[in-house]
Amino acid sequence: MVKDATLASQFDPEELAELLDPQEHTSTPPDDPNLKLSLLNFISFMGCSQGTYEAARQNTQQCFPDIELLSYYQVERRARNLSGIVTWEHHMCVDSCVGFTGPYANMENCPECGKARYKEKDLQESDGERKVPRKVFTTFPVGPQIQARWKHSQTAKDMHYRWEKTQEILRERAESGEHHGIYDDILCGESYLNTVKGGVIDEYDTVLMLSLDGAQLHQNKKSDCWIYIWILVDLAPGKRYKIQNILPGGIIPGPDSPKDLDSFLFPGLAHVSALQREGLPLWDGYRRQRAISFLFLLLVLADAVAMAQLSGSVGHHGRKGCRLLCGFIGRNKAYGSHYYPALLRPHGFENHRTSSHPDIDIHALPIPDTNKYRTDLFYVIASRTKVEHERRRFNTGIGKPSIFAGLHRILPLPTCFAGDLMHQPLINLASLLLDLWCARPGARDYDHSSDWPWAVLTGAVWKAHGKVVSQAARHLPTSFGRTPRNPQEKGSSGYKAWEFLNYIYGEGPGVFYGVLPEPYYSHFCRLVRAIRIIHQHTISREQLVTAHKLLLRWVLDFELLYCKRNPDRLHFVRQCVHSLVHLARETHRLGPLWLSSQWTMERVIGYLGSLLRQPSNIFRNLAAQTKRVANTNALVAMWPELQKTKGDPRGSKDLGDDYLLLGPKDTSLYQTSPAEQAALETFFSGHPDAEDIDRQSVYRWGRLKIPTEQIARSRWKEMELCSDMARTDRNVKVCHSV
């Protein structure tokens, strides 16, 4: 049904006419000053209540009676009309089992739980005429949102980035004959470039990523829901992941988890499918011409639980549980149903019913194969009985066809299902290592042997270690983001992925030195070096080869050092360990993996959560706030002048080349010492105006903003910091071969 969707079946005639005939866009906001001021307030008060907007409106009109500002509801309606953004609401099961779309569209009861679709009271009072849904979910079709990004000359120019960068990469490779360069964007990945070279993606086509995740809106309340967004690959990385350039896809209310996630994605994907077949008309405000864009879905991003539903795989507990569907065969304990991706056959498994296969060569691991996936999928679909289906599902790792198979323009399945750099190496693997080093029950339950030489983070050592980690926070520059809290106190209560990144892979080699015994410490450092390479914004081919070798060695050594072929330790080898063997190859295929991770989704969830103002009806409020964000982002894309821009801070001094001096600053001339004069002499030697530069009397500045947007701070002001936890923003990089 996704495959055969049409635009005419999705929009009413007026909306369809507007979508198919985008008008030439004026580059200036509306001339009406009252409307313009109303829109400015509407955008500026994002995150504030309707009452705040109305109070500001009334205060303005009281002081300036000639100004007639629109009410909140009026400006909201005008914003929606100007932006062209459309919102769809579809019925869903009251327990969030399914959405009444696609094959469920005409049902009046949930096919999973049997509960009624409509409110019984309204049906009885109207003799069945008035059908009021008990619950709805919201979809934001992506077509009008993409059109808004092309209307203004500046935003349209930004949308040309992908094609211009692609041509640059292809020229470089044609000149060198082979890829010897760097990976600094998704556009450097082989999957994307091969698709372009095959003529599938053209200049005006829109390349998208879909990202989906569950969200807990309130920490202490059952408020889970699901959100999905679209990410525009056409924009440069520096703009691609900003909230204002993220396209909302849909809001699926909870608090129960969907049992058929496909039914909730159906409206959004059917819309994409129709645009892939019929094309999306655009007005290019940069080149002042019309164009047709055919959408291409490059990647699907989700955590492990959601990805199993999206890809149709058996999930991470299955015998072939790799989320990339690489075909790696796992091993299970005797009479256990959970399979683990262990390379080495445990002792005594020679006659194991399902896990007797010999050791797997880590240098000859299977990789995702589109032809094998298709063959296996047809094999599963052809099952004649439930028992046969379960057996074939077990052997192939595929449970059902993916809804994404209905799209016309997408990377071949399963290569469109990306890995997860945020959850697996950071949260899951870091938690596994701490479970082992702290001898926590989750790791200890099945292995009662005393041979755990790595379990050193216990008792007083663990307590002292936690204090060291929290005290080290002041030495991490603010550009590193959130510092890790004390893991001994907070490690099991909502420790964030970014905290694990800074703790394990940032501070780790320092805080574990002298604590972890050898060879476990050296083994850990190899992992850190590889993960740091994988997380770099720019990765050379040589670095990627180094990371791949380190990760393969680390995974094999992990089994040799920790598991030692002991069947009781088989549960140590989890999918987060296996995922490491794919990181380097996936980087070659998709570019730096942080660009296709769930960081953007997490930030969007946090942002939307901060806008909520009605806890009593939180899901409706979330949908309304997301709708407002979609309208506001479209308006700002069409008229960037409506967005408040930040100027240089007061008292700053522009040095040119994106360098900016920031206060505090000396109020009077500072007399330099002989040593400082010598340093200045060395620094300015060879400068054309060296003789005119005063080296004895200078004004000192406290901070300097550099082209990377980071802030460098002078020792002069750093030494005046009085708080023990103040972050000094100074770092020393030490390089040492592992």
Residue position matching structure tokens 């996704």? 2
Q: Are the C-beta atoms of residues 424 and 576 closer than 8 Å to each other? A: yes
Which pLDDT score is estimated for 726?
Answer: 66
- In sequence order, what are the residues at sequence separation of 6 or more whose Cβ sits closer than 8 angstroms to the Cβ of residue 335? none
675-684 in b/e form (b: 16+ CB < 10 A) is eeeeebeeee
- Assess whether 672 and 555 both reside in one domain: no
How far is CA 228 from its chain centroid?
A: 11
**Domain interval for residue 492:** 423-596
Phi and psi at residue 531, to the nearest 5°: -65, -35
- Assess whether 669 and 567 both reside in one domain: no
- C-alpha neighbours within 13 Å on the C-beta side of residue 640: 14
Q: Which sign does the torsion angle of CA 48, 51, 56, 61 carry?
A: positive
Q: Kindly state whether residue 252 falls inside one of the protein's structural domains.
A: no
Q: Kindly state whether residue 540 falls inside one of the protein's structural domains.
A: yes
Q: Which sign does the torsion angle of CA 257, 260, 266, 272 carry?
A: positive
- Assess whether 456 and 585 both reside in one domain: yes
- Assess whether 592 and 657 both reside in one domain: no
- Assess whether 442 and 508 both reside in one domain: yes
- Assess whether 585 and 480 both reside in one domain: yes
Which pLDDT score is estimated for 738?
Answer: 47
- Assess whether 588 and 458 both reside in one domain: yes
Q: Is 335 helix (H, G, I), strand (E, B) or coil?
A: coil
CA distance 738 to 550: 10
Q: Kindly state whether residue 170 falls inside one of the protein's structural domains.
A: no
- Assess whether 679 and 554 both reside in one domain: no
Q: Kindly state whether residue 213 falls inside one of the protein's structural domains.
A: no
Q: Kindly state whether residue 701 falls inside one of the protein's structural domains.
A: yes
Which pLDDT score is estimated for 735?
Answer: 63
Alpha-carbon distances, residue 720 vs 213, 601, 702, 707, 730 (angstroms): 44, 39, 11, 26, 14
Domain-terminating residue out of 565, 581, 596? 596
- Assess whether 447 and 589 both reside in one domain: yes
DSSP 409: S
| Torsion angle of the four alpha carbons 372, 377, 383, 389, in this order, in degrees rounded to the nearest 10 | 100
CA distance 93 to 109: 8
- Assess whether 657 and 574 both reside in one domain: no
Q: Kindly state whether residue 304 falls inside one of the protein's structural domains.
A: no
How many separate domains does the chain show?
2
Strand partners, 291: 282
Domain-terminating residue out of 558, 580, 596? 596
Q: Kindly state whether residue 461 falls inside one of the protein's structural domains.
A: yes
Phi and psi at residue 295, to the nearest 5°: -70, 145
Residue position matching structure tokens 């400082």? 676
Which pLDDT score is estimated for 721?
Answer: 60
CA distance 508 to 487: 12
Q: Which residues of the chain have pLDDT under 70?
A: 26-29, 177-180, 219-223, 448-449, 721-738
Q: Kindly state whether residue 429 falls inside one of the protein's structural domains.
A: yes
- In sequence order, what are the residues at sequence separation of 6 or more whose Cβ sits closer than 8 angstroms to the Cβ of residue 600? 211, 229, 231, 241, 246
0.85 exceeded by pTM: yes
- Assess whether 461 and 590 both reside in one domain: yes
Residue position matching structure tokens 């149709």? 312
Alpha-carbon distances, residue 232 vs 146, 199, 213, 235, 595 (angstroms): 9, 20, 18, 6, 12
- Assess whether 587 and 447 both reside in one domain: yes
Per DSSP (E only), the strands in 59-111 are 88-91
Residue position matching structure tokens 């900016």? 660
Domain-terminating residue out of 569, 596, 623? 596
Which pLDDT score is estimated for 223?
Answer: 58
